[in-house]
């Protein structure tokens, strides 16, 4: 079988590269460079080699490396982001810190002729996420593309078939990305030998081998991932050997537990139990404000409840394995691969879970897949459309959509706000709270900027948002005020905790947002829609932040451009909620912002 090697340097999109190669019909295998004893010997059997991105600088002391002998193999090589920089650095060129980071959309301009850009427009949108850039090319290389902020956006050495791109062709937001990867695979001369049907057959065999004569106790949320995992485990093991447990954490959406039970029963899932543990979760989270600690606490409580139910049902722990609907973004964002940076800890990746995985006590049939692939597996397993196409909802639920913590005064506030007004004639206010972002494959925890303007031209405002996060390193999100277009003199943020009253307020706001979305027939136009409660105010209330996004695999995302009629209707209704003072919409793509705020 012809194979393409993907060397994983810890980039957020390493597995996404393999995903795209596989979806093109070619078999891709991910390898960790530090595990290669003799890289040139071990890689000579592959038709081509792709070097992934990564969070570190190539000139940093402990940055991941690979022996330069691979460049003499005569195999086509494609370096992406960090991979490009590694090629340039190792072959005698120069890489330096960029004057400013570049995150999100950039206009790619192809120069000259290159096999990599065959049938690619001379100008198109490409997706960037980098803080370093190439300053000088090695001997034998030439420039093949650039952007306004990056001279060497693509380079190549045609004699050695070595190619490098600073942008990410593997993400859907790079308009010609699929064609660029297809061109590289054509250069490699590989034959198609992969499809999702083969994955299903292989995974069923793998499940049977791992589980043996035991049974699987699966944590179910009603979301796409756990539902597809439930169906796949039942197909591999039979209905009698898979037990589904849904835990009502008290952090679910309005009527969520009832609707999930009804939908799953209707779809044929019979071996399912729901337990209400709201008091347990809320008590454990009462004094927790740090977003990472919240996720860890939720993960630990899930395990405690699972063990309690096992005991109550008199299930012998030795006869059962724990099943999870974990997909690959959960793993990579939790720093689940050797060189990756931790963006946020997913509740299904806390330390105790990791130890159980090492011991073979956890079954995760979807752990190598992305959301788009999971949906496709669901279709192949003939699951109902309403289950497959639900908006993703995080396991920690509203717990990570209710911001907690102390008020934090941003640095250089006046300078940032003044420069935004000077450039765009729009008032911007740096908010006194922080959220999680992902920039250059690394985690950021930075401040948002709120824009105040009567304009609802989301396309133009989105471009302004991209300029702001690229310009100011202290900023990783931009939101737009949907209520008042007049900026308050001062914004404050109160010390806030996860209380029952705040949970109920967030739940009510979430219900309003989704109800109007459904009534206006916009549900299918949005991939996911977090509704965030933030303790930021002018007069003492709180703010609701709308975060509608569109994506396919959750590793990259665009904010959804919702119509003015929707924004107006939802703002009007949210402002009637007792305690809600401001309504914002998040204008930030991923990167630089994560989908969730925590």
pLDDT at 346 over 60: no
DSSP, res 191:
P
Mean pLDDT of 561-565: 96
Query: How high is the pLDDT of residue 412?
Result: 75
pLDDT at 347 over 60: no
Q: Of residues 556 and 258, which shows the higher confidence score?
A: 258
Mean pLDDT of 251-266: 90
Q: Per the omega criterion (within 30 degrees of 0), is the bond before 172 cis?
A: no
Question: Would you say 400 and 598 are in contact if contact means Cβ atoms under 8 Å apart?
Answer: yes
Separation between Cα atoms, residue 591 and residue 318, nearest integer Å:
43
∠ CA 350-434-61, nearest 5°, is 65
Residues designated catalytic: 81, 168, 170
Separation between Cα atoms, residue 30 and residue 15, nearest integer Å:
7
pLDDT at 297 over 60: yes
Instruction: Give tens-digit pLDDT for 415-428.
Output: 999 999 999 999 99
Tell me how crowded residue 483 is: count the other CB atoms within 10 A of its CB. Answer: 17
Q: Which helix (DSSP H) or strand (DSSP E) does residue 298 occupy?
A: helix 291-312
Burial environment of residue 351 by CB neighbours within 10 A (0 to 12, 13 to 18, 19 or more): exposed
Mean pLDDT of 14-20: 85
Separation between Cα atoms, residue 537 and residue 259, nearest integer Å:
34
Percent of the chain predicted with pLDDT > 90: 55
Instruction: Give tens-digit pLDDT for 455-497.
Output: 999 999 999 999 999 889 889 999 999 998 899 888 888 888 9
Mean pLDDT of 11-29: 85
**Comparing C-alpha atoms, which of 596, 578, 588 is closest to residue 540?**
578
pLDDT at 343 over 60: no
pLDDT at 285 over 80: yes
Separation between Cα atoms, residue 83 and residue 441, nearest integer Å:
13
pLDDT band at 350 (very low <50, low <70, confident <90, very high): low
Separation between Cα atoms, residue 470 and residue 130, nearest integer Å:
10
pLDDT at 328 over 70: no
Percent of the chain predicted with pLDDT > 70: 94
Q: Per the omega criterion (within 30 degrees of 0), is the bond before 495 cis?
A: no
**pTM assigned to the model:** 0.74
Separation between Cα atoms, residue 58 and residue 5, nearest integer Å:
20
**Comparing C-alpha atoms, which of 34, 101, 99 is closest to residue 62?**
34
> Mean pLDDT lowest for which of 319-333, 510-524, 536-550?
319-333
DSSP character string of 118-185:
TT--SEEEEEEEEEEEEEEPPTT-EEEEE-SS-S-SEEEETTTTEEEESS-TTSTTSTTHHHHHHHHH
Query: How high is the pLDDT of residue 223?
Result: 85
Where is mean pLDDT largest: 51-55, 122-126, 216-220, 346-350?
122-126
pLDDT band at 335 (very low <50, low <70, confident <90, very high): very low
Mean pLDDT of 393-400: 87
**Comparing C-alpha atoms, which of 389, 361, 362 is closest to residue 375?**
389
pLDDT band at 405 (very low <50, low <70, confident <90, very high): confident
Query: How high is the pLDDT of residue 447?
Result: 92
The residue to which tokens 């590793």 are assigned = 555
State both tokens at 589: 């793509």
Q: Identify the structural domains of the chain with CATH numbers, from first to last.
A: 3-188 (3.40.50.880), 196-397 (3.40.50.620), 413-586 (3.30.300.10)
Q: What is the dihedral of CA 368, 373, 374, 380, to 10 degrees?
A: -120
**Comparing C-alpha atoms, which of 385, 402, 456, 396 is closest to residue 426?**
456
Instruction: Give tens-digit pLDDT for 96-136.
Output: 887 666 777 889 999 988 999 999 999 999 988 777 889 99
Residue 217, sorted as left (phi over 0), alpha (psi -120 to 50) or beta, turns out to be beta
**Comparing C-alpha atoms, which of 238, 263, 236, 110 is closest to residue 246?**
263
Mean pLDDT of 407-419: 83
- Give the HSE-up count for residue 430: Cα atoms under 13 Å, Cβ half-sphere: 24
Output the average pLDDT for the chain: 89
Query: How high is the pLDDT of residue 344?
Result: 47
Question: Would you say 393 and 221 are in contact if contact means Cβ atoms under 8 Å apart?
Answer: yes
Query: How high is the pLDDT of residue 593?
Result: 87
Separation between Cα atoms, residue 225 and residue 388, nearest integer Å:
9
Mean pLDDT of 231-237: 96
Instruction: Give tens-digit pLDDT for 173-192.
Output: 899 999 999 999 999 998 99
The residue to which tokens 């960037």 are assigned = 128
Separation between Cα atoms, residue 323 and residue 218, nearest integer Å:
4
Separation between Cα atoms, residue 365 and residue 362, nearest integer Å:
10
Query: How high is the pLDDT of residue 349?
Result: 54
pLDDT at 160 over 70: yes
């Amino acid at each position: 079988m012809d194979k393409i090697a993907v060397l994983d340097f810890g980039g957020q999109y390493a597995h996404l590269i393999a995903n795209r190669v596989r979806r093109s019909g070619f078999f891709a295998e991910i390898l960790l460079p530090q595990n290669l004893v003799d890289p040139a010997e071990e890689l000579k059997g592959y038709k081509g080699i792709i070097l992934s991105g990564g969070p570190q600088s190539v000139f940093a002391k402990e940055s991941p490396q690979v022996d330069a002998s691979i460049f003499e193999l005569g195999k086509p090589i494609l370096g992406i982001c960090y991979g490009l920089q590694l090629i340039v650095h190792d072959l005698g060129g120069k890489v330096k810190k960029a004057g400013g980071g570049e995150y999100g959309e950039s206009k790619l301009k192809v120069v000259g002729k290159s096999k990599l850009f065959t049938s690619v427009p001379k100008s198109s949108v490409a997706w960037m996420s980098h803080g370093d850039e190439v300053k000088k090319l090695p001997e034998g290389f030439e420039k093949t593309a650039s952007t306004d902020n990056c001279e060497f956006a693509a380079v190549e050495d045609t004699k050695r078939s070595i190619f490098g791109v600073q942008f990410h062709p593997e993400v859907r937001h790079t308009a010609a990305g699929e064609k660029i990867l297809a061109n590289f695979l054509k250069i490699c001369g590989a034959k198609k030998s992969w499809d999702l049907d083969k994955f299903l057959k292989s995974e069923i065999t793998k499940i049977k081998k791992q589980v043996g004569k035991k049974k699987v106790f699966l944590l179910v949320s009603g979301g796409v991932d756990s539902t597809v995992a439930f169906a796949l485990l039942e197909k591999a093991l039979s209905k009698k050997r898979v037990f589904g447990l849904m835990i009502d954490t008290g952090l679910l959406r309005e009527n969520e537990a009832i609707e999930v039970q009804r939908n799953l029963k209707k779809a044929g899932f019979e071996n399912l139990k729901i337990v209400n543990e709201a008091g347990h979760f809320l008590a454990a989270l009462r004094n927790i404000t740090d977003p990472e600690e919240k996720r860890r606490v939720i993960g630990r409580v899930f395990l405690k409840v699972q063990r309690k139910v096992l005991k109550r049902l008199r299930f012998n722990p030795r006869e059962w394995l724990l099943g999870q609907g974990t997909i690959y973004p959960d793993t990579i964002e939790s720093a689940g691969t050797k060189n990756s940076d931790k963006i946020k800890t997913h509740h299904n990746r806390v330390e105790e879970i990791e130890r159980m995985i090492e011991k073979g006590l956890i079954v995760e049939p979807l752990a190598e897949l992305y959301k788009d692939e999971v949906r496709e597996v669901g279709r192949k397993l003939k699951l109902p459309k309403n289950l497959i196409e639900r908006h993703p909802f995080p396991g920690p639920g509203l717990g990570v959509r209710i911001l907690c913590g102390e008020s934090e005064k941003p640095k250089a506030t006046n300078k940032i706000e003044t420069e935004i007004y000077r450039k765009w004639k729009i008032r911007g206010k740096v908010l006194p709270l922080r959220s999680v972002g992902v920039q250059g494959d690394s985690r950021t925890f930075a401040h948002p900027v709120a824009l105040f303007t009567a304009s609802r031209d989301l396309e133009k405002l989105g471009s302004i948002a991209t300029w702001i996060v690229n310009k100011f390193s202290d900023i990783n999100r931009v939101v737009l005020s949907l209520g008042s277009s007049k900026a308050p003199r001062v914004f404050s943020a109160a010390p806030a905790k996860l209380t029952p009253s705040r949970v109920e307020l967030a739940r009510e706001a979430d219900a309003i947002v989704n109800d109007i979305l459904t009534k206006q027939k916009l549900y299918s136009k949005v991939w996911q829609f977090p509704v965030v409660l933030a303790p930021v105010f002018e007069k003492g209330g709180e703010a609701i932040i709308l975060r509608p996004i569109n994506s396919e695999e959750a590793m990259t995302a665009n904010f959804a451009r919702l119509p003015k009629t929707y924004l107006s209707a939802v703002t009007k209704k949210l402002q009637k909620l007792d305690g809600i003072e401001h309504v914002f919409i998040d204008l930030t793509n991923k990167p630089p912002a994560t989908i969730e705020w925590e």
